[in-house]
Structure 1
Amino acid sequence: MQQARVDQFLDHIKANIPLVNHMGLNSITFNGNSVAFHISLTPNLNDKGTGFGGSISAFCTLAGWALTTLALIDKDLERSAVVKTGNIEFFAPITEDFIVNCYSSEATGIEQLIEQVKSKGRGRLPIIAEIIQNEKIAVRYEGIYVAFEG
């Protein structure tokens, strides 16, 4: 998928989820198998001067939705997508601008999603979203997303 289409998707997010306009989401990249959100820390600070857990959780949840949606768009299979389950663990504080990297937790997860949608009209995608700082995982989110006609 061309970056221009991904940039249009970011514009769509900002137009339809107004809160995102205030959260420092600068850009999105998508390579067919993963999505990366590039985020400024400053609008996401807590009272301790580190990343606010609510913002971090929101970005991880949104990244999973974006991966599911972009993977379908990439194959001309636009569907509605929603989060079904999500669990987040915080291992270290976020102390600088950060990237949320999101990918399927199964090696063939995206391919399975595409096949399920083609054959049944709906499908599921298990994902992992991570934030790495100082060469260590600072945050890890695991979720399941579902896509359906609607």
Structure 2
Amino acid sequence: MKHEDNTMSPEAAALEQVLHHDIPLTQAMGVKVLSWQDHQLRLHLPLAPNINHKSTLFGGSLYCGAVLVGWGWLHLRLKEAGIDGGHIVIQDGQISYPLPVRGDAVAICDAPDEALWKKFITTYQRRKRARLTLHTRICAQNSDDQAATFTGQYVVHT
């Protein structure tokens, strides 16, 4: 979430630090947290460090961005739920690339259905392990056109 003075919310700033510390590739990719608001996470993926031979965003970088925005979303929601010790891993993922990205991009993860979220939390609290499927997307920075769509199954365990 952005505050009125255009600074990041404390949650967004903390997530960016976690990403850069725990997943160093995010620094090389230039990943920045844009916002965390209404349970939607948005990450910035700049073209320059992720460019390919066609002057578009590299497919591997798009894949990483799609996985990372889901990972970050889950990290933030677990913190909100008071769960700090869980390890988040991607178990499975499928991506589609309908459009090239010729500039900077935004990776977006919206909340899944609230009933699925509650079932996930209940399962985790009971078994100390749970799976959640998240749908993420990547759009060119100033467009709603989806350049990549991703479905990932994330696992959280102690």
For 2:15 and 2:112, the matched residues in 1 are separated by 23
Count of paired positions: 149
The equivalent residue for 1:128 is 135
Of stretches 121-130 and 99-108 in structure 1, the one that deviates more from structure 2 is 99-108
> CA contact under 8 A between 2:90 and 2:154: conserved in structure 1?
yes
Contact 2:11/2:36, CA 8 A, preserved across alignment:
no
Partner Cα separation in structure 1 for residue 111 and residue 44 of structure 2: 19
Which letter maps to 1:93?
A: P
Once the two structures are aligned, what percentage of the paired residues are identical? 25
Q: Is residue 31 of structure 1 aligned with residue 43 of structure 2?
A: no
Is the counterpart of residue 97 in structure 1 residue 104 in structure 2?
yes
Change (3 A) 1:114 1:31: farther
**Alpha-carbon distance in structure 1 between the residues aligned to 2:63 and 2:28:** 15
Q: Report the more deviating stretch, 114-123 or 43-52.
A: 114-123
Structure 2 distance, partners of 1:51, 1:107, is 33
Give per-residue Cα distances to partners, 1:31-77, cap 9 Å, x unaligned: 36332112211111100000100111011111121112211111111
Question: Is 1:143 aligned with 2:149?
Answer: no
> Alpha carbons of 1:10 and 1:65: their partners in 2 closer, same or farther (altered >3 Å)?
same
Length-normalised TM-score, structure 1: 0.88
Q: Equivalent residue of 1:108, what SS?
A: helix
Whichever structure has more strand as a proportion of its residues is: 1
The DSSP-based 3-state class of the residue aligned with 2:76 is: helix
Q: Which runs of 5+ in 1 are unaligned?
A: none
